[in-house]
Chains A and B, each alone.
Chain A
Amino acid sequence: MKLRLLRHTVIALGILAAGVVHAAEIGQIKIVKGQVSIERAGQTLAATPGLRLQAADVVKTGADGSVGITMTDNSLLSAGPKSVLSLDQYAFDTTTYQGKFDSTLKQGTLAVVSGKIAKQSPESMTVRTPATILGVRGTEFVVSADPPAGR
């Protein structure tokens, strides 16, 4: 009986762990050109197509770099050279499509196609720069932060 309880506990923990892993993935790197890296919990990872992203990841592109990302709600984000994009907060309920998606373009250029989170609840997706807050009402747009001088 005790053994059985233990076994159930182990199974329950296994399911819980699988759930956590599942919840942690918020999107994937799909396109990498030139130098692109991910900063996660103080570590730097090389970005490759298929790399799974987590909330709080920071995506950085070099002078020759660009990157394309898909989120689990079908949002598309792509950044040009010398960009720093922080995926601050992300939650997506696959049954109700309720969620929250906040990101910050600290510098560089970003193209956005919003996904199911913004479509379900218009207030639930924001993109920031250090100076500006963008409310996304289900749409496609581009944003630059601190563009290089001379333009």
Chain B
Amino acid sequence: MRALFTAALALLLAACAQPGPASRDTIVLLPEQNGRHTAVIVNSGGQQVTLDHPYAGARSGGPVQAYESSAADVQGIFGAALAAQPARPRSFQLYFIEGSDTFTDETRRTVEQIFGEIARRPAPEIAVVGHTDRVGSDQSNDALSLKRAEFVRGELIKRGLAPDGIQASGRGEREPIVPTADGVSEPRNRRVEIIVR
């Protein structure tokens, strides 16, 4: 039994050491900025490798082979692509008085920050996404969240932004900052998110 195991291990090691057919593709998972657990699943030639830690790499084009990449390896192959990466979208939250589309005082300061962020970006776009708490029906919250988003879109246009660069949408109660039971009034969930990208 033990001899069989040793033989199997030797075979496995030999298989790993053998150079595969000419590799055409390289795939490397990068570290996450926010530490989320993520993965890329690589399928090629009927085989599958899951990359699930930073700098886990795979070469494919024939059978997929896993390898350990590094920051230097990635920079060598992908430096130009990474240098052209657009700035991360930035998200701001504007809060509302319950059941209304009126701003709180704090939101007026946030609007100034949003304009600063827009000025820093090439070809800036703005997505205005309305959210509600869980008071009221799903349908009425979808409508209220869109109404809030459209109100904010209008305010941004009044302050000088080009209308065709701003999209408004409503997420209803699907994405609370603070999870609650249905029917609970929660001011932190009554908000409009502004994404600048």
Contacts and interface: CB of A to CB of B under 8 A. Distances in A.
Interface of A: 22, 28-31, 33, 49-50, 66-70, 72, 74, 76, 78-81, 83, 94-97, 108-111, 113, 129-147, 151
Contact of B40 (A68, A111, A141): A141
Contacts of B62: 131
Interface in B120-153: 121-123, 125, 127, 129, 142
B41 A142 contact: no
Interface string B50-63: 01000000001110
A136 B52 CA distance: 11
Contacts, number: 165
Contacts of A108: 81
A40 B174 CA distance: 36
29 contacts: A30-B122, A66-B84, A70-B89, A76-B88, A80-B81, A80-B84, A83-B81, A94-B129, A94-B171, A95-B169, A95-B170, A95-B172, A108-B81, A109-B78, A109-B80, A111-B30, A129-B24, A131-B61, A132-B25, A134-B41, A134-B42, A135-B40, A137-B38, A141-B27, A141-B30, A141-B40, A142-B77, A145-B24, A147-B24
B32 interface: yes
A90 B122 CA distance: 23
Interface of B: 24-33, 36, 38-45, 51, 60-62, 64, 74, 77-89, 121-123, 125, 127, 129, 142, 167, 169-172, 174, 195, 197
Given A95-B171, A137-B40, A142 B122 contact: no
Contact of A133 (B44, B78, B121): B44
B30 A142 contact: yes
A151 B174 contact: no
A144 B40 contact: no
Contact of A30 (B30, B41, B60, B86): B86
Given A137-B41, A138-B36, A144-B25, A72 B84 contact: no
Contacts of B27: 132, 134, 141-144
Contacts of B64: 132
Given A28-B125, A67-B84, A139 B74 contact: no
B79 A80 contact: yes
Contacts of A31: 84-86, 122
A79 B81 contact: yes
B86 A70 contact: yes
B134 to A, nearest CB: 16
Contacts of A140: 29-33, 38
Contact of A80 (B36, B43, B78, B121): B78
Contacts of B38: 137-140
Nearest to A111: B81
